[in-house]
Amino acid sequence: MSPLQIFLLIAVSLLGIPVGFLLKYVTKEEMRPGRKWFKMVSIASLAILFGLIVTGENLPLYITAFSFIFFISAVPLLKLKKK
């Protein structure tokens, strides 16, 4: 795998963080009732990621996709202090 491909996979994975913040901003009123679903999705995606890494599968596209999903679902669970 070339360094450019690795960079793009990491960039797509980390793109889940701003998307998660955007999701949190856009869906403020649905955050409280949907909190349990965000927790379940983030735990499931983290478990799948851990399983892919432990088994040693060289599936960078799947790892990227599940890390993107993890970031999207985990970021809205963060409680940030407002100034």
pLDDT of residue 58: 64
What is the full per-residue pLDDT of the chain (83 aa) written as tens digits? 788 887 888 888 888 888 888 888 888 787 778 788 888 888 888 888 887 777 776 677 777 888 888 888 888 777 655 55
Domain boundaries, the chain: 3-77
Distance CA 67, CA 63 (A): 6
pLDDT of residue 83: 53
Say if pTM beats, i.e. exceeds, 0.85.
no
